[in-house]
């Protein structure tokens, strides 16, 4: 994993235009000051004359020639681009690492870049500063944008994986371990907070959340509020003022233990969105989540847009505030999904989308799917208290007279005060919730039918592979033991492949059975409780 930081110095940016100096002269001065900073920054690795500059072929470049080259960029759109490459592991040859990364970037962009680099080893996080001139050797303007960041990361990872395979694997395992520990610590903290609320009487541990939700805000009232939100959405979009966006390197959100911005790829942002939906404890604030969704939508529009397309359609796509026609359905896998689809069908699609190999939905359709699932789930629980009370009253009907009470209750008498107390809807809710939970528990199999042996086997193989890699990377281990370790790892990989093949077959078999059931048992034969 490599951290990429990028900015540029131009006569057009704000810092070059302030201070009363000509903007071109100010931009060149800032570029020269940056060269001086990275060369002479205090630290143990700085020599008497400062750190040495290196380039694509030279290990020691003249600082005077570099300053002259920067001054020649006075009339270019960008004087210099400032890059910082911070690999997760420290490569033995940082110059070779930087040269390969920059060479591949130039080949990808079709330009012969002019750049210089400086190593910094005096901090806790080793890194390389790279200064790229605003024009290449052919006089063509150099542009570095967020699409190039993913390419730089990919080039750096390939170099490290090839040059330092064991350290690269060890760093990956350590990074995953820290992420798991962070998630577990957060779960423990949230559970401790929940137990504290229970001790203070602010939360009831045995009351189903859906029951409480329906009691506090009935489905009919909630549905009316949702309709009001939909009606006022267009008017809010029209009246809301548009704030100027921050630069991509300043506009970030924090989620899943790291920072995210527009510079992340579409696949990374989609995976983050799925991760946030699958992990309730990791949810972020609503404004930040809206920002994440906006980034995904923007990247999806960029992927769909044909850069050579002309005409009114391309113009409408380029308009940031162009109204989008809201779809009331979408198709996936040959099936049609809409707001009226049953909860079981929608939730089955959501479960399928969690698979890494599944084809992803556009973010708009994914948001609709989540909203439709919430609507259908609320509808399933609508009136659940009244229904259960009616069933219980019908099953355990009690007479109002004392004599009937004595005969029906085996001589036991229910006092009028107790009867009045039991007439309170909330007290009934509390008393009957246990019976509801008991009915739900009856449908849960308590034997091994619900176990996924293939999944457990894969987890065991993954754990064995991690342990063996850790043993292989242990300092001082002999070459004979390392050779045996590699043989064992190869056998584990074969077992993992066989396990994956078996899981694919089981999944395909389950899918065929589900399709057969769907043909025999249409979705519309289910009642709101999921029964026939």
Band of pLDDT at residue 532, cut at 50, 70 and 90: very low
Asked if 41 and 132 sit in the same domain, the reply is yes
Asked if 484 and 401 sit in the same domain, the reply is no
Asked if 398 and 429 sit in the same domain, the reply is yes
From 107, 138, 163, the end of a domain falls on 163
User: What pLDDT is recorded for position 316?
Assistant: 42
- Give CA–CA dist 132/143, Å, rounded: 10
- Identify which of 179, 168, 158, 160 has the alpha carbon closest to the alpha carbon of residue 473: 168
CB 299 within 8 A of CB 269: yes
Residue that wins the pLDDT comparison between 81 and 249: 81
Residue that wins the pLDDT comparison between 243 and 30: 30
Q: pLDDT per residue over 122-137, tens digit each?
A: 666 788 999 999 998 8
| Residue 320 domain flag | no
Q: What angle do CA 254, 258, 262 make, to 5 degrees?
A: 65
| Residue 82 domain flag | yes
Domain limits at 83? 2-163
- % helix, strand, coil for the chain, step of 5: 60, 10, 30
- Give CA–CA dist 457/243, Å, rounded: 52
CB 179 within 8 A of CB 482: no
CB 301 within 8 A of CB 336: no
- Give CA–CA dist 212/218, Å, rounded: 10
| Residue 185 domain flag | no
Tell me what the mean pLDDT of segment 158-177 comes to.
Answer: 87
- Identify which of 6, 2, 85 has the alpha carbon closest to the alpha carbon of residue 248: 6
Band of pLDDT at residue 430, cut at 50, 70 and 90: low
Helix intervals (H) in 120-164: 146-163
**Phi (first) and psi of residue 364, to 5 degrees:** -65, -45
Asked if 455 and 396 sit in the same domain, the reply is no
Can you give the length of the chain in residues? 532
0.85 surpassed by pTM: no
| Residue 432 domain flag | yes
Asked if 517 and 423 sit in the same domain, the reply is no
Asked if 432 and 392 sit in the same domain, the reply is yes
Asked if 406 and 484 sit in the same domain, the reply is no
From 442, 463, 478, the end of a domain falls on 442
Residue that wins the pLDDT comparison between 20 and 242: 20
- Identify which of 37, 6, 12 has the alpha carbon closest to the alpha carbon of residue 250: 6
Asked if 503 and 397 sit in the same domain, the reply is no
Chain position carrying tokens 């899918």? 511
- Give CA–CA dist 116/177, Å, rounded: 36
| Residue 238 domain flag | no
- Give CA–CA dist 436/208, Å, rounded: 9
User: What pLDDT is recorded for position 130?
Assistant: 92
Asked if 38 and 109 sit in the same domain, the reply is yes
Domain count, the chain: 3
Residue that wins the pLDDT comparison between 201 and 414: 201
- Local structure of residue 140 (DSSP, 8 states): P
Strand pairing partners for 4?
85
From 401, 422, 442, the end of a domain falls on 442
Band of pLDDT at residue 176, cut at 50, 70 and 90: confident
- Give CA–CA dist 71/40, Å, rounded: 20
Asked if 109 and 151 sit in the same domain, the reply is yes
Q: pLDDT per residue over 277-308, tens digit each?
A: 777 667 788 888 888 888 888 888 777 654 44
Asked if 118 and 17 sit in the same domain, the reply is yes
Question: In the structure encoding, which two tokens stand for residue 36, read together?
Answer: 């001086």
Asked if 459 and 495 sit in the same domain, the reply is yes
Helix intervals (H) in 381-478: 384-395, 402-408, 416-422, 425-442, 453-472
| Residue 248 domain flag | no
The CATH number covering residue 26 comes to 3.30.930.30
């Amino acid at each position: 994993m490599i951290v990429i930081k990028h900015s540029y110095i131009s006569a057009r940016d704000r810092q070059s235009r302030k201070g009363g100096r000509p903007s071109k002269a100010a931009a060149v001065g800032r570029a020269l000051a940056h060269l001086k900073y990275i060369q002479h920054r205090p630290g143990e690795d700085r020599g008497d004359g400062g750190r040495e500059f290196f380039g694509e072929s030279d290990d020691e470049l003249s600082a005077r020639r570099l300053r002259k080259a920067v001054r020649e960029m006075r009339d270019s759109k960008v004087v210099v681009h400032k890059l910082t490459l911070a690999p997760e592991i420290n490569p033995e040859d940082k110059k070779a690492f930087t040269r390969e990364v920059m060479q591949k970037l130039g080949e990808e962009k079709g330009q012969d870049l002019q750049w210089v680099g400086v190593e910094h080893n005096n901090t806790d996080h080793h890194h390389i500063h790279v200064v790229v001139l605003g024009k290449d050797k052919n006089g063509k303007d150099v542009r570095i944008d967020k699409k190039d960041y993913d390419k730089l990361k990919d080039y750096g990872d390939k170099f490290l994986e090839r040059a330092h395979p064991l350290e690269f694997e060890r760093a990956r395992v350590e990074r995953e371990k820290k992420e798991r520990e962070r998630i577990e610590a957060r779960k423990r903290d949230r559970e401790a907070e929940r137990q504290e609320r229970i001790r203070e009487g602010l939360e009831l541990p045995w009351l189903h959340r859906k029951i409480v939700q329906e009691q506090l805000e009935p489905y009919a009232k909630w549905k009316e509020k949702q309709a009001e939100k939909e009606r006022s959405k267009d008017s809010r979009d029209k009246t809301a003022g548009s704030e100027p966006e921050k630069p991509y390197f300043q506009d970030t959100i924090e989620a899943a233990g790291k920072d995210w911005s527009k510079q992340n790829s579409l696949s990374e942002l989609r995976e983050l969105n799925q991760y946030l939906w699958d992990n309730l404890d990791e949810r972020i604030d609503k404004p930040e989540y809206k920002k994440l969704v906006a980034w995904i939508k923007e990247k999806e529009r960029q992927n769909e847009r044909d850069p050579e397309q002309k005409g009114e359609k391309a113009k409408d796509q380029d308009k940031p505030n162009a109204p989008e026609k809201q779809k009331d359905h979408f198709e996936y896998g040959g099936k049609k999904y809409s707001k009226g689809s049953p909860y079981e069908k929608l939730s089955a699609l959501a479960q399928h989308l969690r698979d890494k190999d599944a084809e992803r939905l556009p973010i708009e359709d994914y948001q609709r799917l989540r909203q439709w699932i919430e609507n259908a789930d609320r509808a399933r629980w609508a009136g659940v208290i009244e229904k259960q009370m009616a069933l219980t009253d019908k099953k355990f009907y009690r007479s109002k007279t004392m004599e009937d009470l004595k005969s029906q209750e085996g001589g036991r008498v229910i006092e009028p005060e107790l009867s009045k107390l039991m007439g309170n809807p909330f007290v009934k809710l509390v008393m009957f919730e246990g019976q509801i939970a008991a009915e739900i528990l009856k449908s849960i199999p308590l034997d091994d039918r619900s176990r996924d042996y293939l999944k457990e086997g894969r987890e065991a193989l993954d754990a064995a592979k991690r342990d063996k890699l850790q043993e292989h990377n242990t300092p001082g281990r002999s070459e004979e033991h390392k050779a045996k370790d590699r043989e064992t790892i190869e056998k584990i990989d074969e077992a993992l492949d066989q396990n994956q093949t078996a899981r694919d077959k089981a999944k395909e078999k389950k899918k065929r059975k589900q399709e057969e059931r769907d043909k025999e048992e249409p979705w519309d034969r289910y009642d709101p409780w999921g029964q026939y």
